[in-house]
Amino acid sequence: MSTPAQQSETASPASPFFTEEHEMLRASLRRFIEREVIPHGDAWEQQGYVPRELLRRMGAQGFLGVRYPEAYGGSGMSALGSVVLAEELARSTYGGFAVTVLVHTDMASPHLHHAGSEEQKRRYLPAIVAGEKIAAVAMTEPDAGSDLAAMRTSARRDSDHYVLNGSKMFITNGVHGDIYFVAARTGEPGRSHAGISMFIVERGTPGFGVARPLHKHGWLSSDTAELVFQDCRVPAGNLLGQEGRGFYSLVANLQNERLVLGAQAIGEASTALELTLRYVSQRKAFGATLWEKQAIRQRLAMLASRVEAARLLLHHTAWRDAQGHKLVKEVSMVKALCGELVNEVMYDCLQFHGGMGYMRESAIERMTRDARVQSIGGGATEVMLEEVAKRLL
């Protein structure tokens, strides 16, 4: 991976934050998505998941190992690489496809990279980078979303195994995943952050299964599930990191997750504006194009300005992350701002598409449904603002 000084020397002409390597990744992703994703996205929305063969092709192109060392088949990039990945996936206009990939690359498998032993990483990470094994993270429960201390799923040590019992909710890649990074309480029951541990659970492990697939408002092409653990015996060697330290692993990766979700939101907002600008420049009403209506073009101009401002905050925060800074406040700002802004953009973009924007055949209709979760998933806006507020004084 390039040092900050080297990155500055090879900076892209388009941005002070990105290098030519980043721009090459962006161009390759854009070509791949136009060829391999957009023509098939509607079918994936109908079937409720992205074909695993598509993910294997992405792995073969190097798109699933952007953040991981070359020793495991990756590219060794920083958070800026993840931002490029998320923005370009979002340009597909299929949020379910985008989040399927991003959970695999930036929300689930990082737990293995950060906390796993060398043996665990050698065993699993090359297959994850290649798209041969699809990853999911099982953290959320019906009564424990952002409130991790309320987690009830338990893991009891029994000789050379742990026995897991409980359930997980809203798990992306849950139906068709292969490797699950599961949070469970190894300490005493209660509302303490202490005593939470992480485990690697493979598909097919006795006692582990999909309770039911979940049907969502948006992100229809991402498979989402409720998972159940009933006396599920996991080898003690599948403990990820240290027993009782799983909460700190979860919190550490939430910063990357929230940054990436902010990037996805910005990619979606930018694309929605592009689609809408194209539409209003062609659609005529009362003898003129919609673009010639001052109220419409000024509203779009303001939205474009705000998206660009949020994009610069996102990019600067990712750049600072690449320098090694701790950025809980800034990442929380990114997540809150971008998650709210993308919904505002979608509302107006659908409005300016008129009746056509309300039709299921319209990309903007799908994007509006997909965007709604951006202010909820990965940390609700209200939770993010509290993280910011605690660090303002």
CA distance 117 to 105: 18
Per DSSP, the three-state class of 305 is helix
Largest CA distance in the chain: 79
CA distance 222 to 48: 6
CB 198 within 8 A of CB 181: yes
CB 320 within 8 A of CB 327: yes
List the Cα angle 10/12/13 in 5-degree steps: 120
120 beta partners: none
CB 93 within 8 A of CB 148: no
CA distance 33 to 207: 38
Give the E-state strand segments of 189-267 in sequence order: 196-202, 208-213, 224-235, 239-240
Structural tokens at position 385: 């603002």
> Beta strands 224-235 and 161-172: pairing type?
antiparallel
Structural tokens at position 370: 């997909």
Catalytic residue among 257, 268, 330, 387: 257
Please indicate whether residue 257 is annotated as part of the active site.
Answer: yes
Helix axes 79-90, 20-36, angle to 10 degrees: 30
| CB-based contacts of 385, cutoff 8 Å, min separation 6 | 332, 336
Phi, psi at 172, each rounded to 5° = -70, 140
CA distance 291 to 298: 9
| CB-based contacts of 212, cutoff 8 Å, min separation 6 | 225, 226
Query: What distances in angstroms separate CA 158 from CA 117, 161, 198, one per listed residue?
Result: 21, 5, 16
Catalytic residues: 257
